[in-house]
Chain A
Amino acid sequence: MSTKTKTVEKNGTLKPSELKSVFTRAITANSEWPDKDEFLDVIYWARQAIGLILGVFWGLIPLKGFLGLLLFVIVNAAVIYFYFSSFQCVDEEEYGGAWELTKEGFMTSFAGFLVTWIIIYSGLYHDGLQS
């Protein structure tokens, strides 16, 4: 049975042998992306990382209110837009337009951002309140 579960799934899983090459391509400008899903995965994981990093920063500063949410949306979209249009220079039409790329993994990254922001903020600035 266990052999049957090892069907290769491109979406989401990066095979270990390709891991390095995908990562190097992701941080090299103007790389080639023959597999669309691979590039979308890079965008997805980049988004998650940005969400977590911004969450930690916003919590440490601490940034509060609607401004924090707005800034997150702007920074997140801007970084990804800059990444695929200026750094990787991909043809966005191939992926169904800039909007498809901009929204790839957005909700998950937003949720991750909120969690880290709330945890760091309440842990650092409101820890003594309850006791």
Chain B
Amino acid sequence: MWADTLLIVFISICTALLGEGLTWLMVYRTEKYQKLKTEVERQSKRLEKRKEAHGDSLDKQHKKKIEREEERLKNNNRDLSLVKMKSMFAIGFAFTALLSMFNSIFDGRVVARLPFLPLTWIQGLSHRNLPGDDYYDCSFIFLYILCTMSIRQNIQKLLGFAPSRAASKQGNSIFGPAPGQFK
């Protein structure tokens, strides 16, 4: 089982790196993205500071100013998501194909033994395409998703591609904080 589990960890490291690399190529390095990103970050921080400074004051003028800035931030966030979206779709398709390939390689194979009984609504995932009723058996897809959840986000953070806290706190981007996390 060592071989299978370690192979899955390796696969998810590779796919995470590949995904980030492709996104860098198609999105992160473009001037438009960088401009928008710095703009969003700057605005979020300014807005946060302004909110802190005039938190409880009910001054109409300040309120209006804050609202106006919020609106601008929202627009910028939307533009940022749109810039990301195109490449996300492309990468999503590529990765779905990759995933189905791995799925067929590991089809019906117990890759690991779970030390706990998963909740019933997770069992469909953790026991996918596996023979028998032993729900302690773990399928490829479950382990892969868990690996991706931890590895991809950590790689994003290490490389500095993770969305900034201020921006994700203030803005409501379409995809949320971690787009395409399971891909």
Contacts and interface: CB of A to CB of B under 8 A. Distances in A.
Interface in B1-52: 1-2, 5-6, 9, 24, 28-29, 31, 34, 37-38
A115 B146 contact: yes
B1 A108 contact: no
Contacts of B6: 119
B161 to A, nearest CB: 8
Nearest to A8: B160
B143 interface: yes
Contacts of B162: 11-12
A62 B110 contact: no
Interface size of B as a range: 35 or more
B149 A126 contact: no
Given A5-B29, A115-B150, A127-B1, A10 B164 contact: yes
A64 B5 contact: no
Contacts of A129: 1, 113
Interface in A30-82: 37, 40, 44, 48, 51, 58-59, 62-66, 68-69
Given A9-B160, A10-B164, A122-B138, A115 B147 contact: yes
Given A1-B29, A118-B143, A119-B5, 15 more contacts: A11-B165, A12-B156, A12-B158, A37-B166, A40-B165, A62-B115, A66-B116, A109-B150, A115-B150, A118-B115, A118-B138, A119-B9, A121-B113, A122-B138, A130-B110
Interface of A: 1, 4-5, 7, 9-13, 37, 40, 44, 48, 51, 58-59, 62-66, 68-69, 107-109, 111-112, 114-115, 117-119, 121-123, 125-127, 129-130
15 contacts: A7-B38, A11-B160, A11-B162, A37-B164, A37-B165, A37-B166, A63-B115, A66-B117, A115-B146, A115-B150, A118-B114, A119-B5, A119-B9, A125-B113, A126-B112
